[in-house]
Structure formats: C-alpha cells, structure tokens
Amino acid sequence: MNDLLQTIEPVTLMGPGPSCVHSSVLDALAKPTLGHLDPDFIRIMDAIKQQLKTLLHTRNALTLPISGTGSAGMECSFVNLIEKNDPVLILINGVFGMRMQDVATRLGADVDTLEFDWGTPVIVDVVQKQLSKKTYKLVAVVHAETSTGVMNPVSGIGSLLKNKETLFLVDAVTSFGGTDIFMDDWGIDVLYSGTQKCLSCPPGLSPVSFSRAAVDVIEARKTKVPNWYLDLSLIMNYWEGATRAYHHTAPVNMLYGLYQALCLILEEGETRVFERHMKTHLQLVRELDHLGIRMHVDAACRLPMLNAVCIPDGVDDADVRTRLLKQYKIEIGAGLGPLAGKIWRIGLMGHTARPENVEKLIQALKAVLPPLRDR
C-alpha cells in the first residue's frame, strides 16, 4: 500500500459526519469490483432498494441511492420537481435549510421562506398560517438540522399537507438510521439522505425516495430536467426493470458498502439502533453537565445523533478541537455560520453511538479543558 495511505490512523469520528464505519462495511468496500451490469451486482442493487424501503417505511417504487453525497440528493430532489416560477416554501432554521433555498432559487423557483431562530424548531402553527395564505407546489424542511442540533416536527408539518396537491420534501441526511422516519404515514413525498451519518458508511451515496404523487409531477413536466446526471427519468431505467440500461457507471464498491451498512441496521433492529442513539446521547448530556458544559438546544427538540454544546467561556474553540484530534484521535465539529465559535457539534451517529466513545471523549475533554473552578 502507498505510504500516504499507510500513515492513516483510525480517528474516532464524533463530528457532524462522516461517522465511524464498522469493519464489515470496510471489508465490503474492498470486495472485488464487478461490472455495473453484472447480474450479481444487480441483485445487490435490488436488495438495497428493498432495504431502503423497509427502513424508510415506504412503499415508494422509486427508492434508490443517487451517486453523490447528500447534496446530490438535495439537488436531485429539487431539479426533478421544480420548473421555472414554481411556488416553493422553504422552512429555514439552519445552514441546510438555507442551502435548499439556494438550490431552489438557482432553478428559478418562486421561493418563499419562513425563518426560525437557529437552535429552535420550525413552528407548525406558523407554517399553517402561511399555507392558508398561498398554495405551494412544494414545501421543504430539514428533519435533523445538523448545523444547530435541532429536530424539526416533520410529522406535524406533513399533517398540514395531507390530501393537498402540495408535495412535502424532507432532508433526512442526518436523521435516517438514527431516529424514526415513517415516510408514508407522515405524508412525505420526497426524501433524501446521505450515507456518512447514521448509516455509518463512508460519504458518496445519497438514498432518495419519491412518492407516486412526486413521480406524477416529474412525468407531467413541461420542460426537460435541466441536469442530465440527476435526471431520474433516465436513472430509473438503470435501477428498474428486467433489462437495465446504462446511464452512468454506478459506484459499485460504494454500493457494496451501503448494502452491508443497511444489513447491520436491519440485523440489530431499528428500534434497538434508535435506543442506542438515545442512550448514548443522554449519557453524553449527563457527563457534559458534570463538566459544567451546557447544551445549546432545549431537551424537547434535541437531536440524539448531533449534540450542539455551548463552548464554555474562556475556552479556545480551535485549540480544544485540535488537541482532541492530535493527542486523542477524536474528531468533534465546529459551529457553522452564526454559531461558529459558540458551539461544538458532537456527533453520536450510527456506529459512533456507543457508550465507550462517550467515555473516551469525556476523559479526553477532562484532560484538555481547564478545570471547572478556573473557568
């Protein structure tokens, strides 16, 4: 192996993603590469579609992983559904809601936004009021806002849109695999995620799922999807049917990795996986409290998999993160945008969500932080 690779040492990934990857997923990535139309590979593709449907609790036929990271899933969702001047409502309480606004605006949509304080959730009543004033083609929200550590009330927003023509689009990049998602019951029409968070697979794929209503919208488009690579009407021909048509060369080994990562979640059982996320989150909150470190977000809407913690006064943000990485081989995340320098983002995602990792981080923080009495 080349020397640059030989020097890589394992890091306990406790930031906003990527998360730690199970050894069996790394083994899967190293399996021999097959041709992207090989029947054995197509069997794996079909199994992944079924696994995703099971874990998302959806019957959507159009459920598959897009080649590319979570942002590719975001781009794919908007580019297939939006045409110029389509009225769109984006609910924003962090960086990733803002990114949705950017993506929709670039496509020429007529974008309205409702903005909520960073660190607080979207308020369903405010959304309801806005929906009574104007009809939208699509309403979009981030389920787990990774930039602030807030869980948004997706099922409540979905109830507002039931039996309406408006499509409901949800970013589940950070939530999928770490907490409940009932895509069909919650009235979600379009969802995208990413592999590198609670699915505990390296970055590179973005599971997406589109309801029948969303597919009808795609089929009724007046204009061509303005992006060839993410055009689902073309991608579908590779992922569906008895004969598969080449679209682009699938990232074969990444898909082996995703298959194995999904197998692990299904084998452990999703309820137990979610309980493990919640238990380690509560352990972290307790231990941080003993160190005099407060959480940024109210308990009622905290994410279990992404903990936004207030950097104590007088503590040097970058110095602590650098020492954790260099001396203890632990990565935690910095704050983004207005929260830069104010919070750390501690990820307990997927395989990372284990009591021994919380313990390891707490011991390292004890060594790195000035004692409580000196702060």
Q: According to the binding rule CB under 6 A, does residue 136 interact with ligand PLP?
A: no
Smallest distance from ligand PLP to CB 161, Å: 20
Q: Estimate to the nearest angstrom the gap between the alpha carbon of 42 and the chain centroid.
A: 25
Phi/psi region, residue 241 (left: phi>0; alpha: psi -120 to 50; beta: rest), is left
Residue owning tokens 């207005």: 338
Cα–Cα distances (Å) from 78 to 73, 215, 231, 290, 333, in that order, read: 9, 13, 11, 44, 28
Residue 242 CB, nearest distance to ligand PLP (Å)?
33
Q: Is 156 in the site for ligand PLP (CB under 6 A)?
A: no
Which one of residues 28, 107, 142, 362 is an interface residue with ligand PLP (CB under 6 A)?
Answer: 142
194 vs 257, which CB is nearer to ligand PLP? Answer: 194
Question: Per CB under 6 A, does 96 bind ligand PLP?
Answer: yes
CA angle, residues 146, 208, 302, in degrees to nearest 5: 25
Minimum gap (Å) between residue 71 Cβ and ligand PLP:
3
Nearer to ligand PLP, 254 or 365 (CB): 254
226 near ligand PLP, judged by CB under 6 A: no
Task: Select 69 or 260, whichever has its Cβ closest to ligand PLP.
Answer: 69
User: What's the CA angle centered on 256, arms 181 and 254, to 5 degrees?
Assistant: 85
Interface of this chain with ligand PLP, residues 44 to 83, rule: CB under 6 A: 69-71, 74
Cα gap 332→322, rounded to integer Å: 9
Q: Does 113 bind ligand PLP (CB under 6 A)?
A: no
In the DSSP assignment, the letter for residue 312 is P
DSSP 3-state percent helix, strand, coil across the chain (nearest 5): 45, 15, 40
| Rounded Cα gap, residues 120 and 216, in angstroms | 35
Q: Does 174 bind ligand PLP (CB under 6 A)?
A: yes
Q: How many CB atoms lie within 10 A of CB 270?
A: 17
Tokens 């080349």 -> residue = 2
- Residue 327: Cβ within 10 Å count: 11
CB of 47 to ligand PLP, least distance (A): 23
Task: Cite the DSSP H helix spans in the chain.
Answer: 3-6, 23-29, 39-56, 70-81, 95-106, 124-133, 154-161, 212-219, 232-239, 252-268, 270-290, 317-328, 355-368
Q: Which of 16, 187, 207, 333 binds ligand PLP (CB under 6 A)?
A: 16
Among 203, 226, 251, 312, binds ligand PLP (CB under 6 A): 203
Q: How far is the CB of 235 from ligand PLP (least distance, A)?
A: 18
Note whether 179 binds ligand PLP by CB under 6 A: no
Q: What is the size of the binding site for ligand PLP (CB under 6 A)? A: 14
Residue with Cβ nearer ligand PLP (97 or 187): 97
CB 302 → ligand PLP: shortest distance, Å?
15
Which listed residue (194, 257, 333, 335) binds ligand PLP by CB under 6 A? 194
- The verdict on 17 binding ligand PLP (CB under 6 A) reads yes
Which range of residues in 125-133, 170-178, 226-234, 362-370 is near ligand PLP by CB under 6 A?
Answer: 170-178
- Contact yes or no for 307/149 (Cβ under 8 A): yes
Closest to ligand PLP by CB, 69 vs 101, is 69
Largest CA distance in the chain: 69
Interface with ligand PLP, residue 358, by CB under 6 A: no
The residue count of the chain comes to 375
Binding site for ligand PLP (CB under 6 A): 16-17, 69-71, 74, 96, 142, 146, 171, 173-174, 194, 203
